[in-house]
Structure 1
Amino acid sequence: MKLRVGVLQLDVALGDREKNRKNVEKWMASVSVPSDMPTAVVIPEIWDVGYALDRAAELADPEGKGAAEFLGSLAKKYGVWFVGGSVLASTGSGFANRAQVINPRGELVAYYDKVHLIRLMEEEKYFTGGRKECLFSLEGAKAGCVICYDIRFCEWLRTYALRGTEVLFVSAEWPSPRADHWKTLLRARAIENQMYMVACNRCGTTGDTHFGGGSMILGPKGEVLFEGGEGEEAGFVTIDLDEVSRTRNFLTVFNDRVPDIYGTHLK
């Protein structure tokens, strides 16, 4: 089975939802190519308002419904899936960094609340962390999504692979001073879990923080299929999901695990 996957590596205007929506609309209009192949598009983390966390009460999207409707209209217009990015959402228990999965009919079919909250960005002061993974069928492909800091936690992404995930989507606002970590971690997660990684990072600057782009699409052996530069751009790649099973059958990592000796000390 083949999929067309793409990233929209965009700048994010802090606190300006309307400007950010217009930018997504502009880029979709300029890069969308009609295709009979299922197509999934990823946009950055908190693409709607950026890290304006101190204004969460003012800016938060109730349950992310406004963003889902907006992306849903674009999904229907262009016949694509959106898998992320995430939005600043208000929930019954506070606020969440929430990634949304929208199908080509414009329907919200799944969502993911960021599990690992990064103290460097003071996320733990504003967000309630998620407690479950996001797994879904993308036209028959076994897919999942996580957000940014999550990729530092190998045990979390391994749970996705153990549940059969073939392609994992990542939305991020990863700062350029740690760009080498971004690239290394993405390749490691692809190699160790033998799955495709489709990772979209933002670009641009907010305050003193520069986000260096470098969005990546990686194959199940860690091969780089697309790597973005530092500015706004889009990249699309056709991936073959059969390559996941070929890779896993050749190098039988999952069969060769010895989980009974790993113990509970990891908790």
Structure 2
Amino acid sequence: MADLTVSFVQASLQWHDPAANRAELQRHIGEISIATDLIVLPEMFTTGFSMDAPQLAETMSGPTVAWMQELAVARDAVIAGSIIIRDEQGSYFNRLLWVRPDGSISYYNKRHLFSIAGEQNVYTAGTERLIEEWRGWRICPLVCYDLRFPVWSRNPMHQPYDLLLYVANWPASRRTAWMTLLRARAIENLAYTMGVNCVGIDGNSLAYAGDSALLDMRGEYLVEVGNQETGITRSLRRADLEAFRERFPALQDADPFELTQSEEVAR
């Protein structure tokens, strides 16, 4: 199968200003000069990590979804990232959108809500994990705090995913955990792993150090960007992934178990 070219944007998010954030992210995306299959944006990329969902939420027919669809068509790539969504019943979700070049959309609602910030008091937790098939690769997108819970990230023994990705607003005060857990998730799941964070200071005076990264299935860094605003593109080699899994097939020795309170959706 073909290699996969992936891009991500690490940016400073303007607090509660969707239009400004879309414009700035579009500028960064425009600087990606080569063809890519996937462009990943941070968590809550239009607003920063906010509990003010009643004022900031959009619907699935709102301006940010339309913007992502336009970008996906223009770049012939999937655009992924999370925003605040209100559904038809009035519930709020920290929802990762997976927008394809044909305009179709899948989504994943963040499962592990950050109770320290009261996220569970505002948003509804997701119940389904998403594994997307895209250009011959199986990709599992998750959101921020999910990184701390290895069972939710666990790679299936049969039909494993190839790329695990996390979009985040992960504070600088916990950057050691971010970097350590990204490596752990890559190693234990024998998968390429991407973490996409933001930089700057948000409206709650929380600082973000970035540290967005792309790691291989050994937990070795392919990309590590520090705290600058940047867009990065790299190619993931299918042959390297398959060769490593053949030499070190640890997934086949994993303990079999199932999560009984959730479902996994593969598309």
After TM superposition, the score normalised by the length of structure 2 is 0.90
8 A contact 1:10–1:232 mirrored in 2: yes
Residue 173 (structure 1) aligns with: 169
Residue 109 (structure 2) aligns with: 113
Q: CA deviation at 1:236?
A: 1.1
- Size of the aligned set, in residue pairs, is 257
Work out which of the residue numbers 42, 45, 62 in structure 1 matches 2:43.
Answer: 45
Q: CA deviation at 1:255?
A: 1.6
In structure 1, what is the Cα distance between the partners aligned to 2:91 and 2:192? 33
Mark the runs of 5 or more structure 2 residues left unpaired by the alignment.
Answer: 261-267
Residue 196 (structure 1) aligns with: 192
Residue 257 (structure 1) aligns with: 254
Residue 125 (structure 1) aligns with: 121
8 A contact 2:82–2:167 mirrored in 1: yes
2:233 matched to 1:236?
Answer: yes
Q: Which 4+ stretches in 1 moved above 3 angstroms?
A: 159-163
Residue 227 (structure 1) aligns with: 224
C-alpha change, 1:161 and 1:120, in structure 2 (3 Å) is farther
Q: CA deviation at 1:140?
A: 1.5
Residue 137 (structure 1) aligns with: 133
Report which stretch shifted further, 126-135 or 246-255. 246-255
Q: CA deviation at 1:263?
A: 11
C-alpha change, 1:159 and 1:194, in structure 2 (3 Å) is closer
Q: Percent identity?
A: 27
- SS of residue paired to 1:28: helix
Residue 208 (structure 2) aligns with: 211
- SS of residue paired to 2:182: helix
In structure 1, what is the Cα distance between the partners aligned to 2:132 and 2:79? 13
Mark the runs of 5 or more structure 1 residues left unpaired by the alignment.
Answer: none
Residue 11 (structure 1) aligns with: 12
8 A contact 2:17–2:47 mirrored in 1: yes
8 A contact 2:43–2:49 mirrored in 1: no
Report which stretch shifted further, 71-80 or 127-136. 71-80
Mapping 1:5-154, distance limit 5 Å = 5-29=6-30, 31-35=31-35, 38-54=36-52, 56-63=53-60, 65-83=62-80, 85-91=81-87, 92=89, 94-105=91-102, 107-154=103-150
C-alpha change, 1:146 and 1:96, in structure 2 (3 Å) is same
After TM superposition, the score normalised by the length of structure 1 is 0.90
